[in-house]
Amino acid sequence: MTDPLPLASADAAGSWLQDPVHLAFLREDAARQAGFFARSLRADGGFDLLDLDGTPLPRGPQELHTTTRMVHSFALARCHGIAGGEAVIDAGMAFLRDHHRDARHGGYLASAGAGGDGTKLAYGHMFVLLAAASAGLAGHPQADALLADVAEVLETRFWDAEAGLFRDEFTRDWQPFSDYRGMNANMHAAEAHLAAYEATGETVFLERAGRILKVFTARIAPRHGWRLPEHYTADWQVDPGYAGNPMFRPRGTTPGHSLELARLLLQHWDLTGRPGDAAPARARRLVAQAVEDAWRPDGGFAYTLDFGGGVDVADRYWWPVTEGIGVMAALIKLGGAEAEADEALYRRFWEFAAAHLVDHERGGWYPELDEAGRPAARQFTGKPDIYHSLQAVLFPPVPGLSRSTPPARAG
């Protein structure tokens, strides 16, 4: 193996976003990630989860978010000039149509295959919309049909027009089986709707993303010390005692989601013509609180906090660092009085990631670290997906704040 490229020029005086060495590092890591995760495609069109060295792990049912994130990631890579992912995109689109889509009741199954889960979750459907939008930007011939289908399901089954938010979960035949409402699915709804707007130009997607972002960043965050409670009751009151799946529905607040929502807020503000300065100010408050509360003395973000900002789950995962990189890149592009401080945080996040999370030899990022900063396997086995880490290397070089290059369908 050749030695990995340096993270940045030793004497980079300006922003790393203009440093040729840093940009080359980002391109190399994107290609390395794509090469690693392309091996997850099976002969039957499904996707294996991969161990740290790329060995397929024992199969279980295929999760909807696995299929859709593969489509989204490789379509996004194609938009950015990374070739070779066409087979992954085609297989993922076919798997969505032939295995996840419920031909009898409509919508998309949370997991498919032996032992699959027939529930219908807003979380997974948001990634269907994201995959369709990204595939459309990459010019896939089946993207429009997929986007139209999932948009109708979201409209008729999940959308709560009065709240301006999405309901979370139903049985296979669309019976509600809980009163749970969650921030996570709605955050990804904002992400997917912004992508759908970029792919189609249909303003309903932009408007709905704006409603979601307003609820969480203009109403809820200021009431809770600029931290974002994860879990809510049916009438959208905070449910402080709720604790579900430790990865997708942990108790308390998740600072990585504050970073993610801050980036999405800036993207929406940009796409709506940059009206005023309230949105960037809110984004900065979310970022500042997350960094103050959760950045560990030896680097990395604690996974969850209690409602007062104390660390609850101290484990350090890869994805909050990727979201920190993404939002700091967006803030750097805005310039202004805080540009130097923004640059310092961007570099801090990348220095930690390059030293502890990036697998420079095999590709992909290690998903979690132990107390000594070494790869661990408490919550995850292997490398669970490409989605967060690929965006961390593809978004910073884009001149604007939106997610894709070019802002139109690829030829």
Question: Which residues does the annotation mark as catalytic?
Answer: 257, 388
Contact of 376 with 370, CB cutoff 8 Å = yes
Query: What distance, in Å, lies between the first and last C-alpha atoms of the chain?
Result: 34
In a 3-state reduction of DSSP, which class is residue 165? strand
Report how far Cα 375 is from the mean position of its chain's Cα atoms: 21
- Report how far residue 65's alpha carbon sits from residue 126's, in angstroms, rounded to the nearest whole number: 9
**3-state helix/strand/coil string of 231-261:** EECCCCCECCCCCCCCCCCCCCECHHHHHHH
Token code pair at residue 154: 């979201």
297 CB-near residues (< 8 Å, 6+ apart):
none
Token code pair at residue 183: 């921030």
Residue 233: CB atoms within 10 A of its CB come to 12
**What Å distances lie between residue 24 and 59, 212, 236, CA to CA?**
36, 36, 45
Query: What b/e readout covers 204-232, taking b as 16+ CB neighbours within 10 angstroms?
Result: ebbebbbbbbbbbbeebbeeeebbbbbbb
Decide the pairing of beta strands 311-317 and 368-369: antiparallel
Strand partners, 120: 170
Query: How large is the angle between the packed helices 318-334 and 278-294, nearest 10 degrees?
Result: 140
Contact of 42 with 48, CB cutoff 8 Å = yes
DSSP annotation of 53 reads T
- Report how far residue 128's alpha carbon sits from residue 75's, in angstroms, rounded to the nearest whole number: 13
In a 3-state reduction of DSSP, which class is residue 335? coil
Token code pair at residue 185: 């699915």
Token code pair at residue 360: 């420079």
In a 3-state reduction of DSSP, which class is residue 22? helix
- Report how far residue 221's alpha carbon sits from residue 265's, in angstroms, rounded to the nearest whole number: 13
- Report how far residue 295's alpha carbon sits from residue 352's, in angstroms, rounded to the nearest whole number: 11
